[in-house]
Amino acid sequence: MTYTSSTVRVPDVAAVPRHIAIIMDGNGRWATQRRLPRVAGHTRGVDAVRAAVEACARAGVEYLTLFAFSSENWRRPNEEVSFLMRLFVTALEREVGKLHANGIRLRVVGDLSQFNDRIQDLIRRAETKTARNTRLTLTIAANYGGRWDIMQAAKKLAEQSAQQGHAAEVNEETFSQHLAMAYAPEPDLFIRTGGETRISNFLLWQLAYTEFYFTETFWPDFDAAALSDAIASYARRERRFGRTSAQLEPQSQDADSLPC
Protein backbone atom coordinates (compact mmCIF):
# COMPACT_ATOMS: atom_id res chain seq x y z
CA MET A 1 0.00 0.00 0.00
CA THR A 2 1.47 3.34 -1.10
CA TYR A 3 -1.05 5.63 0.58
CA THR A 4 0.34 7.42 3.60
CA SER A 5 -1.71 10.05 5.33
CA SER A 6 -0.16 13.55 5.48
CA THR A 7 -2.03 14.18 8.73
CA VAL A 8 -0.54 11.08 10.37
CA ARG A 9 3.04 11.36 9.12
CA VAL A 10 4.78 14.26 7.36
CA PRO A 11 5.53 13.02 3.83
CA ASP A 12 8.87 13.48 2.06
CA VAL A 13 8.76 16.32 -0.45
CA ALA A 14 10.89 17.05 -3.51
CA ALA A 15 11.07 19.82 -6.12
CA VAL A 16 9.24 17.62 -8.63
CA PRO A 17 5.82 16.55 -7.35
CA ARG A 18 5.39 12.78 -7.03
CA HIS A 19 1.68 13.06 -7.70
CA ILE A 20 -0.14 15.71 -9.77
CA ALA A 21 -3.95 15.83 -9.87
CA ILE A 22 -5.65 17.97 -12.52
CA ILE A 23 -9.17 19.27 -13.09
CA MET A 24 -9.13 19.60 -16.86
CA ASP A 25 -11.59 22.46 -17.24
CA GLY A 26 -12.45 24.94 -19.98
CA ASN A 27 -12.98 22.67 -23.00
CA GLY A 28 -16.43 24.13 -23.71
CA ARG A 29 -15.27 27.76 -23.46
CA TRP A 30 -12.20 27.03 -25.58
CA ALA A 31 -14.54 25.85 -28.37
CA THR A 32 -17.15 28.59 -27.90
CA GLN A 33 -14.44 31.25 -28.23
CA ARG A 34 -13.66 29.78 -31.65
CA ARG A 35 -17.35 29.56 -32.64
CA LEU A 36 -17.10 25.78 -32.56
CA PRO A 37 -19.54 23.41 -30.83
CA ARG A 38 -18.56 22.71 -27.18
CA VAL A 39 -17.74 19.10 -27.99
CA ALA A 40 -14.91 20.20 -30.31
CA GLY A 41 -13.20 21.35 -27.13
CA HIS A 42 -13.50 17.87 -25.63
CA THR A 43 -11.89 16.35 -28.73
CA ARG A 44 -8.99 18.80 -28.46
CA GLY A 45 -8.85 18.02 -24.75
CA VAL A 46 -7.72 14.49 -25.55
CA ASP A 47 -4.65 15.90 -27.34
CA ALA A 48 -3.85 17.91 -24.20
CA VAL A 49 -4.14 14.72 -22.13
CA ARG A 50 -1.54 13.06 -24.35
CA ALA A 51 0.79 16.07 -23.97
CA ALA A 52 0.36 16.13 -20.17
CA VAL A 53 1.08 12.41 -19.83
CA GLU A 54 4.24 12.72 -21.92
CA ALA A 55 5.44 15.82 -20.06
CA CYS A 56 4.82 14.23 -16.65
CA ALA A 57 6.63 11.02 -17.62
CA ARG A 58 9.60 13.10 -18.84
CA ALA A 59 9.65 15.25 -15.69
CA GLY A 60 9.75 12.18 -13.44
CA VAL A 61 6.25 12.57 -11.97
CA GLU A 62 5.14 9.15 -10.68
CA TYR A 63 1.36 9.64 -10.53
CA LEU A 64 -0.87 11.78 -12.76
CA THR A 65 -4.57 11.90 -11.95
CA LEU A 66 -6.99 13.52 -14.38
CA PHE A 67 -10.62 14.43 -13.66
CA ALA A 68 -12.40 13.44 -16.86
CA PHE A 69 -16.06 13.18 -15.81
CA SER A 70 -17.58 14.08 -12.46
CA SER A 71 -20.52 12.42 -10.74
CA GLU A 72 -22.38 15.69 -11.44
CA ASN A 73 -21.54 15.84 -15.17
CA TRP A 74 -24.54 13.57 -15.93
CA ARG A 75 -26.56 16.79 -15.45
CA ARG A 76 -25.30 18.07 -18.81
CA PRO A 77 -27.38 17.83 -22.01
CA ASN A 78 -27.79 14.22 -23.21
CA GLU A 79 -25.95 14.89 -26.47
CA GLU A 80 -22.87 16.20 -24.66
CA VAL A 81 -22.86 13.25 -22.22
CA SER A 82 -23.19 10.76 -25.13
CA PHE A 83 -20.37 12.50 -26.98
CA LEU A 84 -18.12 12.27 -23.92
CA MET A 85 -18.90 8.54 -23.57
CA ARG A 86 -18.02 7.93 -27.23
CA LEU A 87 -14.82 9.93 -26.81
CA PHE A 88 -13.91 7.83 -23.76
CA VAL A 89 -14.38 4.61 -25.80
CA THR A 90 -12.31 5.94 -28.70
CA ALA A 91 -9.54 7.12 -26.39
CA LEU A 92 -9.43 3.74 -24.62
CA GLU A 93 -9.32 1.90 -27.96
CA ARG A 94 -6.67 4.13 -29.51
CA GLU A 95 -4.39 5.15 -26.68
CA VAL A 96 -3.90 2.12 -24.43
CA GLY A 97 -1.37 0.44 -26.76
CA LYS A 98 0.76 3.61 -26.74
CA LEU A 99 0.49 3.98 -22.97
CA HIS A 100 1.62 0.39 -22.55
CA ALA A 101 4.55 0.83 -24.95
CA ASN A 102 5.66 3.82 -22.87
CA GLY A 103 5.60 1.99 -19.55
CA ILE A 104 2.47 3.71 -18.26
CA ARG A 105 0.05 1.99 -15.90
CA LEU A 106 -3.59 3.02 -16.38
CA ARG A 107 -6.17 3.06 -13.60
CA VAL A 108 -9.74 4.34 -13.76
CA VAL A 109 -11.48 5.40 -10.54
CA GLY A 110 -15.11 6.32 -9.90
CA ASP A 111 -18.47 4.58 -9.79
CA LEU A 112 -17.89 2.53 -12.94
CA SER A 113 -21.17 0.59 -12.53
CA GLN A 114 -22.97 3.51 -14.24
CA PHE A 115 -21.03 3.00 -17.50
CA ASN A 116 -22.20 0.64 -20.22
CA ASP A 117 -20.72 -2.88 -20.51
CA ARG A 118 -18.46 -1.94 -23.42
CA ILE A 119 -16.77 0.84 -21.46
CA GLN A 120 -16.45 -1.32 -18.34
CA ASP A 121 -14.88 -4.10 -20.37
CA LEU A 122 -12.41 -1.73 -22.10
CA ILE A 123 -11.41 -0.31 -18.71
CA ARG A 124 -10.82 -3.75 -17.19
CA ARG A 125 -8.74 -4.85 -20.18
CA ALA A 126 -6.66 -1.67 -20.22
CA GLU A 127 -5.96 -1.92 -16.49
CA THR A 128 -4.94 -5.56 -16.77
CA LYS A 129 -2.72 -4.98 -19.79
CA THR A 130 -0.83 -2.09 -18.16
CA ALA A 131 -0.88 -3.36 -14.55
CA ARG A 132 2.83 -4.12 -14.30
CA ASN A 133 4.11 -0.86 -15.80
CA THR A 134 6.11 1.32 -13.42
CA ARG A 135 7.18 4.53 -15.20
CA LEU A 136 4.03 6.55 -14.46
CA THR A 137 0.60 5.70 -13.07
CA LEU A 138 -2.09 7.55 -15.00
CA THR A 139 -5.42 7.62 -13.20
CA ILE A 140 -8.56 8.76 -14.97
CA ALA A 141 -11.34 9.82 -12.62
CA ALA A 142 -14.59 8.99 -14.40
CA ASN A 143 -18.01 9.28 -12.77
CA TYR A 144 -15.92 10.19 -9.77
CA GLY A 145 -16.98 12.33 -6.83
CA GLY A 146 -15.00 12.98 -3.66
CA ARG A 147 -18.13 12.44 -1.59
CA TRP A 148 -18.89 9.17 -3.38
CA ASP A 149 -15.34 8.03 -2.60
CA ILE A 150 -15.62 8.79 1.12
CA MET A 151 -19.08 7.16 1.27
CA GLN A 152 -17.98 3.99 -0.51
CA ALA A 153 -15.00 3.65 1.85
CA ALA A 154 -17.33 4.07 4.85
CA LYS A 155 -19.69 1.43 3.40
CA LYS A 156 -16.82 -1.05 2.98
CA LEU A 157 -15.81 -0.58 6.61
CA ALA A 158 -19.45 -1.06 7.68
CA GLU A 159 -19.71 -4.25 5.60
CA GLN A 160 -16.46 -5.53 7.11
CA SER A 161 -17.86 -4.86 10.59
CA ALA A 162 -21.08 -6.74 9.81
CA GLN A 163 -19.16 -9.71 8.39
CA GLN A 164 -16.80 -10.06 11.31
CA GLY A 165 -19.53 -9.47 13.91
CA HIS A 166 -17.79 -6.56 15.65
CA ALA A 167 -16.91 -2.98 14.73
CA ALA A 168 -13.93 -2.66 12.37
CA GLU A 169 -11.23 -0.35 13.68
CA VAL A 170 -11.71 3.09 12.18
CA ASN A 171 -8.66 5.34 11.92
CA GLU A 172 -7.07 7.31 9.07
CA GLU A 173 -4.97 4.35 7.96
CA THR A 174 -7.79 1.78 7.88
CA PHE A 175 -10.20 4.27 6.33
CA SER A 176 -7.90 5.47 3.57
CA GLN A 177 -7.12 1.88 2.56
CA HIS A 178 -10.68 1.73 1.21
CA LEU A 179 -10.49 4.94 -0.83
CA ALA A 180 -10.51 4.46 -4.60
CA MET A 181 -6.90 5.66 -4.89
CA ALA A 182 -5.40 3.73 -1.98
CA TYR A 183 -2.59 2.69 -4.35
CA ALA A 184 -1.25 6.25 -4.68
CA PRO A 185 0.28 8.82 -2.35
CA GLU A 186 -1.77 11.98 -1.74
CA PRO A 187 -1.41 14.56 -4.54
CA ASP A 188 1.45 17.03 -4.01
CA LEU A 189 0.15 19.44 -6.64
CA PHE A 190 -3.44 20.15 -7.69
CA ILE A 191 -3.95 22.05 -10.95
CA ARG A 192 -7.22 23.47 -12.24
CA THR A 193 -7.30 24.98 -15.70
CA GLY A 194 -10.08 27.19 -17.09
CA GLY A 195 -10.12 29.94 -14.46
CA GLU A 196 -12.52 28.55 -11.85
CA THR A 197 -11.19 28.36 -8.30
CA ARG A 198 -13.12 25.45 -6.82
CA ILE A 199 -12.68 21.73 -6.15
CA SER A 200 -15.97 20.61 -7.79
CA ASN A 201 -16.15 17.43 -5.67
CA PHE A 202 -12.74 16.08 -6.78
CA LEU A 203 -10.41 14.33 -4.31
CA LEU A 204 -11.86 15.82 -1.10
CA TRP A 205 -10.07 13.58 1.38
CA GLN A 206 -6.73 13.39 -0.41
CA LEU A 207 -6.27 17.14 -1.03
CA ALA A 208 -5.88 17.94 2.70
CA TYR A 209 -2.29 19.25 2.32
CA THR A 210 -1.97 19.48 -1.47
CA GLU A 211 -0.57 22.67 -3.04
CA PHE A 212 -3.15 24.39 -5.29
CA TYR A 213 -2.42 25.98 -8.66
CA PHE A 214 -5.11 27.73 -10.69
CA THR A 215 -4.64 28.97 -14.23
CA GLU A 216 -6.90 30.82 -16.68
CA THR A 217 -5.56 28.67 -19.53
CA PHE A 218 -8.28 26.47 -21.02
CA TRP A 219 -7.49 22.76 -20.92
CA PRO A 220 -6.97 22.31 -24.72
CA ASP A 221 -4.24 25.00 -24.54
CA PHE A 222 -2.51 23.50 -21.51
CA ASP A 223 0.80 22.23 -22.95
CA ALA A 224 4.19 21.07 -21.67
CA ALA A 225 5.30 24.69 -21.04
CA ALA A 226 2.16 25.37 -18.99
CA LEU A 227 2.79 22.21 -16.95
CA SER A 228 6.36 23.23 -16.38
CA ASP A 229 5.14 26.66 -15.07
CA ALA A 230 2.88 24.84 -12.61
CA ILE A 231 5.74 22.61 -11.44
CA ALA A 232 8.01 25.67 -11.07
CA SER A 233 5.37 27.38 -8.91
CA TYR A 234 5.13 24.21 -6.81
CA ALA A 235 8.92 24.11 -6.36
CA ARG A 236 8.78 27.60 -4.77
CA ARG A 237 6.20 26.63 -2.12
CA GLU A 238 7.07 25.93 1.47
CA ARG A 239 5.13 22.86 2.57
CA ARG A 240 4.90 23.06 6.31
CA PHE A 241 2.22 20.47 7.18
CA GLY A 242 1.41 22.38 10.35
CA ARG A 243 5.00 23.16 11.40
CA THR A 244 6.79 26.52 11.44
CA SER A 245 9.26 27.73 8.81
CA ALA A 246 12.14 27.51 11.30
CA GLN A 247 11.46 23.81 11.83
CA LEU A 248 12.04 23.16 8.14
CA GLU A 249 15.61 24.44 8.22
CA PRO A 250 18.18 21.64 7.84
CA GLN A 251 19.75 22.08 11.31
CA SER A 252 16.37 21.78 13.00
CA GLN A 253 15.90 18.59 15.03
CA ASP A 254 12.73 16.49 15.13
CA ALA A 255 10.97 18.58 12.48
CA ASP A 256 9.12 15.50 11.23
CA SER A 257 8.06 14.03 14.51
CA LEU A 258 4.59 14.46 15.86
CA PRO A 259 3.76 14.27 19.57
CA CYS A 260 2.55 10.81 20.59
Q: Which residues of this chain interact with ligand IPE, rule CB under 6 A? A: 23-29, 67-70, 73, 84, 194, 196, 198, 200
Active site residue 73: yes
The nearest distance, CB 45 to Mg ion, in angstroms, is 11
- Tell me how far apart the alpha carbons of residues 189 and 232 are, in angstroms, rounded to a whole number: 11
Q: What end-to-end distance do the CA atoms of the chain give, in Å?
A: 23
Residue 24 is a binding residue for Mg ion (CB under 5 A)? no
Q: Count CB neighbours of 256 within 10 A.
A: 14
Is 205 known as a binding-site position? no
Active site residue 111: no
- Tell me how far apart the alpha carbons of residues 20 and 138 are, in angstroms, rounded to a whole number: 10
Active-site pick, 73, 102, 133, 201: 73
Is 166 known as a binding-site position? no
Stretch that binds Mg ion, among 23-31, 92-100, 104-112, 214-222 (CB under 5 A): 23-31
Closest by Cα among 55, 59, 40, 8 to 171: 8
Residue with Cβ nearer Mg ion (25 or 149): 25
Q: What is the biggest distance separating any 2 CA atoms in the chain, rounded to whole angstroms? A: 61
Is 38 known as a binding-site position? yes
Is 192 known as a binding-site position? yes
Find out whether 157 and 175 touch, Cβ atoms under 8 Å. Answer: yes
Find out whether 102 and 57 touch, Cβ atoms under 8 Å. Answer: yes
Sequence ranges of the binding site: 25-30, 38, 42, 70-72, 74, 76, 192, 198-200, 211
Active-site residues: which are they?
Answer: 25, 73
Sequence ranges of the binding site for substrate: 26-30, 38, 42, 70-72, 74, 76, 192, 198-200
Which positions lie near Mg ion, rule CB under 5 A?
25
